[in-house]
Amino acid sequence: MSWLSKLKQGLSKTAALFSFGGAGLKNLDDVEEALLKADVGYGTTTEIMDAVRREKPKDEAAFRQVVRDVMIRKITPIAKPMMPDTTHKPAIILMIGVNGAGKTTTIGKLGSIYQARGLKVAFVAADTFRAGATEQLCRWGEKLNVPTYTAGAGADAAGLVFDAVQKSQKDGTDILFIDTAGRLQNRSDLMEELKKITRVIKKLDPEAPQETVLVLDATVGQNAISQVKTFREMAGVTGLIMTKLDGTAKGGILVALADQFKLPVYALGVGEKIDDLRPFTADEYVTSLLGDS
C-alpha cells in the first residue's frame, strides 16, 4: 500500500466526520460540531467558521476549499523534516513522551531512515525503568545492525547516557538516539530523571541534545496538548512526532497543536513496521483529513 493511501486509511475515521453531504452546508452547527469532534481545536474551529461565514461557499466543493485553506495555512509552517546537524558528531536526539506513545518503535524507524542515508547511527537504551525496554530496543538494533548501549533494568539512566555520549564522541557516530522511559506528566521522580539526563548530555556537549523529540500518540486526542505543555517545560521540546495515525478519528489534533505551539512536526507514524514512518506534509495531511469527496 502506498504511503498516501496508508495515511488516508489511517485518517478515514476523521475524514468520515467531514462527510457533510449536501445537507451539511445548510447547517453550520453540524459543521462546527464535526470540526470540534475531529479535535482541530477551538481556535481553528472558530477561524474556519468565520471564513465560512465570510466567504459563503456556494457548494460542497467550495466549502471544502475554505476549510482546506485554513488548515493548510495553519499546518504548512510546522511541517518540517528533522535535519540534525551531522557535521556535529554525534548529533544527539533525545526521544521523550508518555508511556506507550511509540518512542522505541520510532527510534527503530528513524534509525533505519538515517542509516539508509549512509550515516553511522547508534542507540542508547536509557529506559532502565520498564522491564523489557532494553531488549525491545536491542531487537531494533540487531535488525538494523546498529550498536545499542545498554545498562539493563534498574541501572542509572543518566550514567548510561554519559558513557554512551562519551564513547560516541570518540568513535565517529553521526547520530545517537537516546530512548527514554515513558513518563506520565505527574511522575515527578521520572521528570527529574529526564532533567538529569539532559544535564549529563550538556556536560559533555553544551550544544546537545540537538533535538529533543516529543513522541505523541494521536489516539489520545486533546490530551496531547497538556503533554506538550508539560514536556516542553521539563525538557525543552524541539519537535514532535505523532504516531498511530492509522486507526484514529483524532487526527485533527495536529491542527490544534500547530495552532497552539508552532512546534515543527517531523514525521508521522502510520503503523508498527519499520517503514511506517513518513515525513509530514501539509497537503497530504489535510487531503487525508478531509477525505476526497
What is the binding site for ligand GTP (CB under 6 A)?
97, 99-105, 127, 130, 133, 182, 215, 243-244, 246, 269-272, 276
User: 85-107: string of b/e by CB count within 10 Å (b at 16+)?
Assistant: ebeebbbbbbbbbbeebbbbbbb
What whole-number distance in Å separates Cα of residue 287 and Cα of residue 172?
42
90 binds, among ligand GTP, Mg ion, none (CB under 5 to 8 A by kind): none
Question: Cβ closer to Mg ion: 45 or 198?
Answer: 198
Note whether 85 and 210 are within 8 A (CB): yes
What whole-number distance in Å separates Cα of residue 227 and Cα of residue 246?
20
| Integer-rounded Cα radius of gyration of the chain | 20
244 binds, among ligand GTP, Mg ion, none (CB under 5 to 8 A by kind): ligand GTP
Cell 478515514 found at: 12
Least distance in angstroms from the C-beta of 123 to ligand GTP = 12
Question: Cβ closer to ligand GTP: 105 or 210?
Answer: 105
Least distance in angstroms from the C-beta of 175 to ligand GTP = 18
Beta bridge partners of residue 217, listed in sequence order: 243
Sign of the torsion formed by the C-alpha atoms of 214, 257, 19 and 59? negative
Phi, psi of 185 (to 5 degrees): -60, -30
Question: Cβ closer to ligand GTP: 66 or 251?
Answer: 251
Question: Cβ closer to Mg ion: 31 or 107?
Answer: 107
246 binds, among ligand GTP, Mg ion, none (CB under 5 to 8 A by kind): ligand GTP
102 binds, among ligand GTP, Mg ion, none (CB under 5 to 8 A by kind): ligand GTP
What whole-number distance in Å separates Cα of residue 193 and Cα of residue 131?
17
Question: Cβ closer to ligand GTP: 67 or 107?
Answer: 107
Indicate the SS3 state at residue 104.
Answer: helix
Beta strands in 106-165 (DSSP E): 121-126, 148-149
Least distance in angstroms from the C-beta of 103 to Mg ion = 5
209 binds, among Mg ion, ligand GTP, none (CB under 5 to 8 A by kind): none
> Which residues in this chain contact Mg ion in the complex, by CB under 5 A?
103-104
What whole-number distance in Å separates Cα of residue 264 and Cα of residue 277?
16
Least distance in angstroms from the C-beta of 91 to Mg ion = 21
Residue nearest to ligand GTP (CB): 182
Question: Cβ closer to ligand GTP: 89 or 278?
Answer: 278
Least distance in angstroms from the C-beta of 256 to ligand GTP = 19
Least distance in angstroms from the C-beta of 59 to Mg ion = 48
Question: Cβ closer to ligand GTP: 13 or 130?
Answer: 130
CB contact set of 285 (below 8 Å; sequence gap of 6+): 7, 11, 75, 79, 254, 268
Least distance in angstroms from the C-beta of 276 to ligand GTP = 6
